[in-house]
Structure 1
Amino acid sequence: MEQPKNPGLAAVLSFLIAGLGQIYNGQLAKGIIFIIVYFFSWLLMFVLIGLITTPILWIWGMYDAYKVAERHNQRISNGM
């Protein structure tokens, strides 16, 4: 039986490290991709484009982790 996920914890983990919430939700490949893309976006801050992409990726990662955990919980509560 699948265990419920805590959406708040997923969001906080992604707040701390982009992609960590996805890994917590069981999306290992997606989490690793988030970490890699976020790292390169952070490096791009030195050429200014990162000032736009880094916060967008960070916020998107938190939102995605929260929503995936919610959908996971809804799916297991519906017995699917």
Structure 2
Amino acid sequence: MRNPPAAAIMSFLVPGLGQFYNGKILRGLFWLLVTPGLWIGTGGAWGWVCHLVSAATAYGYAKRFSGR
């Protein structure tokens, strides 16, 4: 059983970490690689968006499969 808030917090702090926690390795690698690229490439504007989307997807996956 996964804890959805924990997955979201992990992924917000380090994009992809919440996905790793959920067992979604490829999705975690995607967020881990894409987010820093967007932080650098857009001067930070899209970096926040990636952080939030990464956290939301980690939360949603954990909630869907935790039975909560």
Q: How many residues align?
A: 68
Q: CA deviation at 1:8?
A: 0.8
**Which entry has the higher C-alpha Rg, 1 or 2?**
1
Q: Whose relative contact order is higher, 1 or 2, with alpha carbons under 8 Å and at least 6 apart? A: 2
Structure 2 match to 1:5: 2
| Structure 1 unmatched runs, 5+ | none
Cross-structure match for 2:65: 72
Identity rate, percent: 32
TM-score (norm 2): 0.90
Runs of 4+ in 1 over 3 A off after TM superposition: none
TM-score, structure 1 length as denominator?
Answer: 0.78
Partner of 1:26: 23
Please state if 1:62 is matched with 2:55. Answer: yes
**Residue deviations 1:24-68 (CA, integer Å, cap 9, x gap):** 000000000100001111211xxxx34321111000011111110
Consecutive unaligned residues in structure 2, runs of 5 or more: none
